[in-house]
Amino acid sequence: MKRINCVMTIIALMAISSFADDVQNGVNFFKQKEYSKAVESFKKACENSNSDGCYFLSRVYSEGFGVKKDILKASKLLEQSCNGGNAYGCGDLAYMYLSGENIKQDKLKATELFIKACNGGDPESCSTVGVMYAKGEGIEQNEFTAKNLFKKGCELNNESSCKNYTVLSGETILPEKVCLNMERVNNSMTPVQLSNYGYYCIAENKYEDAGKLLITSMAYGAYDRLRVKDKTAHQASVVLQMQLGSALTKEQQEVLQQTLSSMMHEKSTCELLEKVGKPSYYPSYMINHGLHAQTPQPIASDFDPENGWDLTLKDYIKCKGQ
């Protein structure tokens, strides 16, 4: 599976129901590594028909945080979450049906769920099902449908969807060209997306916003270098920085460098990264950059996400010990 094996996605999915506090409490407990308390909070929210609570509960069962690992139970919770309107729950369940791991493979069912997730705002699902339609994998090939799905994914700031749309249509479309405020940033955003937003901030002379986005991008790149086995792929994060630098004027580069130097290692920067949390996305941007992109298991089998994020903050950002 592509996403179910990732550590729980703490993304900005705060529910609007009367049980949103239970979800928020669960997120807070999880960040503090009080997993049993997090499970109880998510369970309470889920039992009261909060789809976000069911989604987060599925993730702790899929990883075994505070509970015995149970993929079957996780899949049932994902179904409950999806039926309740959680797009990411639909997307994760779709990956399970697509892979056939711990559940009977059903590509048609996966397709339906991916489309539902895409329409609900999950950009990765738009990209994945778009590729399925473009190649005719498990479903009848349909380039028109594929283009529409890629366009939707691109509008949701999925870089691969934008590129695939260009390949099929010959037209270039770009993700939302805005200077994204950090309040809108979540840990499902890749370094590619964060760098793009950082560039738009620089274009608007909002260097502090750009600095926050780019430091987050660099931290995520450092984390990905720890978990991706193929060392030839690690240059992807360096290439991103080079591409950004080449797009800036000398004056912009100097101001940006000063901004980054003043923000790096600062307590406020560390607090910012801890608030956003460790990456939840699948690092395809890096994996596909390497010489061994087709490796069946590109993520190191012994990689510990919690420890990897701690190492990133400690060794790369120099946060720990302040």
Per-residue pLDDT tens over the stretch 38-68: 899 999 999 988 888 899 999 899 888 888 9
Domain boundary among 75, 103, 131: 103
Same domain, 168 and 187: no
Provide the b/e sequence for 248-270 (b: ≥16 CB within 10 Å): eeeebeebbeebbeebeeeeebb
Statement to judge: residues 171 and 201 lie in one domain: no
Mean pLDDT for the stretch of residues 226-240:
87
**Residue 9 or residue 61, greater confidence:** 61
pLDDT at 18: 36
**What residue numbers bound the domain in which 261 lies?**
182-316
* In the predicted structure, residue 260 carries a pLDDT above the cut 70: yes
Task: Say whether both 265 and 312 belong to one domain.
Answer: yes
* Number of separate domains in the chain: 3
pTM exceeding 0.75: no
Q: Does residue 145 share a domain with residue 81?
A: no
Burial of 109 (0-12, 13-18, 19+ CB in 10 A): middle
Task: Confirm whether 114 is domain-assigned.
Answer: no
Residue 166 Cα distances to 207, 209, 304, angstroms = 31, 29, 37
Would residue 125 count as lying in a domain? yes
The secondary structure of the chain in percent helix, strand, coil, rounded to multiples of 5, reads 65, 0, 35
In this structure, the answer to whether residues 2 and 97 fall within a common structural domain is: yes
